[in-house]
Amino acid sequence: MTIPEPKKLIDLDWSEWEAATGANTVPLRTPTVERITMDDYGLELAAVVAKRAACTRRQVGAVIIGPDKRIMSTGYNGMQPGAVECSDGGCPRGAYTHEQIPGLLGNGGHEVPCTARHAERNAIEYINPRMYRPDWLPRSTIYITCQPCPDCEELCKKKHLRVVWPW
């Protein structure tokens, strides 16, 4: 019994392939893609998260990115869960302009306190402990859409977070 010779599916050698396709080389890798930096990525994500804020004075977003370059948590400024939102009249300070009550001063002696939770605090407090190891937080970065207030800056320092904001 003789074994039949295998059939050739393509009966072209390399020179015939070049002539048929006009190709004389095969690309070995795809062109590189320009990627944004991790800091720009984090800041852009924080800007999107800020769009969820219901504050009438300022929309702030925060994103925590872990050492593995994955999103650990997000947060935006607003009222406690279940409370009336700022935009619905839940914050007494929301009726005033920045000229009347400047930002970044905490309550600053004003009789009209801000009752909202800040984006940084929400992002830190809503990290899912079952998904991330506790030792990851000190090696993580929090991206915020604006400069943190003194209280939030202190909180980030206590948690050993690297803090990044646009300017």
Q: What is the pLDDT of residues 8-36, one digit of tens each?
A: 545 555 566 566 666 555 555 666 778 89
- Please check whether residue 124 is in contact with residue 138, taking contact to mean a CB–CB distance below 8 angstroms: no
Distance CA 14, CA 10 (A): 11
Tens of each residue's pLDDT in the chain, 167 residues: 666 665 554 555 556 656 666 655 555 566 677 889 999 999 999 999 999 998 888 899 999 999 999 999 999 998 888 888 887 888 888 777 777 777 655 544 556 667 889 999 999 999 988 887 778 888 999 999 999 989 999 999 999 999 999 97
Residue with tokens 């994500």: 45
Please tell me the predicted confidence (pLDDT) of residue 101: 75
The pTM of the full predicted model, rounded to 2 decimals, is 0.73
Distance CA 42, CA 165 (A): 9
